[in-house]
A and B are shown apart, each in its own frame.
Chain A
Amino acid sequence: AQKVTQAQTEISVVEKEDVTLDCVYETRDTTYYLFWYKQPPSGELVFLIRRNSFDEQNEISGRYSWNFQKSTSSFNFTITASQVVDSAVYFCALSERDNFNKFYFGSGTKLNVKP
């Protein structure tokens, strides 16, 4: 079974729209980490955020915000006032207690931001 599900394969928005990328995870562990990465057309994965399972506080960083809800096993990512430079594939990932260094990635959501 997939440990991380990103159901949205591709999303297209117009610049300045807000957009939310969904991530649902599955684990039996009570201690785990969640991550988001951005992969622009150049191909290099860029680290965006890490959260541990004990910290459900939402986080905001500029135009980016993350909503972690253990009750629904979701860790969604919202971009406010999207820009063309936000166009990329975004990956959500999970690591679990037995090996916090082994990441399980979702299949990614491709975001197209049109001018």
Chain B
Amino acid sequence: GAGVSQTPSNKVTEKGKYVELRCDPISGHTALYWYRQSLGQGPEFLIYFQGTGAADDSGLPNDRFFAVRPEGSVSTLKIQRTERGDSAVYLCASSPGQGASYNEQFFGPGTRLTVL
């Protein structure tokens, strides 16, 4: 079946602008995750949704970052007043959320964000 998809694959913006990054999880997966990966580093947890609600947003770096998942499927990561330090690859993952493999996370290809 279809995997996790993310759009756009690349986003270039100017400092101070607002951006939205979209994630389509695997059909039927109730859990959805956002990570940020800087060059040469491992993914860094940002936020996790179970259904429509954010179950853990402890990784969001500041209040410029916000994510929603209004219908429990597609999620949007929103970054306000972007800064050059926000440049990274933003990864989305989903997992079944229940059953024996409930927390096995499957990742999308990522969105490469560049803030000029």
Name A residues whose Cβ lies closer than 8 Å to a Cβ of B.
4, 33, 35, 37, 42-47, 50, 91, 93, 95, 99-108
- Residues from chain B with a CB closer than 8 A to the CB of A105 are 42-44
Task: Say how far A50's CB is from chain B's closest CB, in angstroms.
Answer: 6
Name B residues whose Cβ lies closer than 8 Å to a Cβ of A.
31, 33, 35, 40-45, 48, 50, 55-56, 58-59, 89, 91, 93, 95, 101-110
Given A33-B103, A43-B109, A50-B104: A99 and B43 within 8 A (CB)? Answer: no
Bound Cα distance A4, B109 (Å): 23
Task: Say how far A89's CB is from chain B's closest CB, in angstroms.
Answer: 9
Known: A35-B105, A50-B103, A107-B40. 19 other contacts (CB 8 A): A4-B42, A43-B109, A43-B110, A45-B91, A45-B93, A45-B107, A47-B106, A91-B43, A95-B103, A99-B55, A99-B56, A101-B31, A101-B48, A101-B105, A102-B45, A102-B48, A105-B43, A106-B42, A108-B42
Q: CB < 8 Å: which of A44, A93, A101 contacts B95?
A: A101
Bound Cα distance A45, B31 (Å): 17
- Residues from chain B with a CB closer than 8 A to the CB of A35 are 105
Task: Say how far A100's CB is from chain B's closest CB, in angstroms.
Answer: 5
- Residues from chain A with a CB closer than 8 A to the CB of B105 are 35, 47, 101, 103
- Residues from chain A with a CB closer than 8 A to the CB of B56 are 99, 101-102
7 closest A-B pairs (Cβ-Cβ)? A105-B42, A45-B107, A44-B109, A100-B103, A105-B43, A101-B48, A107-B42
Give 27 CB contacts A-B under 8 Å.
A33-B103, A35-B105, A42-B109, A44-B107, A44-B108, A45-B43, A45-B91, A45-B107, A46-B107, A47-B107, A50-B101, A50-B104, A91-B43, A99-B55, A100-B102, A100-B103, A101-B31, A101-B50, A101-B103, A101-B105, A102-B48, A103-B33, A105-B42, A105-B44, A107-B40, A107-B42, A108-B42
